[in-house]
Amino acid sequence: MNIKVTDEAYKWFSEELGVTDGDHVQFFVRYGGCGDFQTGFSLGVSVKEPEEAAVSHVKNGVTFYIEKKDEWYFDDHDLLVQFDDTIDEIKYLHDSNN
């Protein structure tokens, strides 16, 4: 499992959440919402230090990560975080890394 954050998505995080060099952004599992990985669950996002990161990706000094306890949600798929300019929001895509 890997994480990739596109340049456009990084810009969204920078502008909307104010993240800068040295910050940490967590993708976490939450109950409900419309998620593409597991029915009945979706992804949330928080700016906070990791406790036990399973995977991380550093872009422009910002560490994007998923905690070990949320690894199950991705079912061994990679997470691609993109910006969707039609809705002016980030979106999450997945792909098998096998």
For residue 98, pLDDT over 50 is answered with: no
Assess whether pLDDT exceeds 90 at residue 38: no
Q: Does 32 have pLDDT greater than 90?
A: no
What is the mean pLDDT of the segment spanning 38-51? 82
> Which of the pair, 31 or 46, is modelled with greater confidence?
46
Strand-pairing partners, residue 55, are 66
* Whole-number Å distance between alpha carbons of 18 and 33: 24
pLDDT class for 92, splitting at 50, 70, 90?
A: confident
Over residues 13-25, the mean pLDDT reads: 97
Alpha-carbon gap, residue 51 to 56, rounded angstroms: 12
pTM passes above 0.85: yes
Give me 48's structure tokens: 């906070």
Q: 3-96, what's its fold?
A: Hypothetical Protein Aq_1857; Chain: A; (2.60.300)
Q: Where are the domains of the chain?
A: 3-96
CA atoms within 13 A on the CB side of 20: 1
Burial profile 21-60: b = 16 or more Cβ within 10 angstroms, e = fewer:
eebbbbbebeeeeebebeeebbbebeeeeeeebbbebebe
H helices of the chain, where?
7-17
- Is the pLDDT score of 61 beyond 50? yes
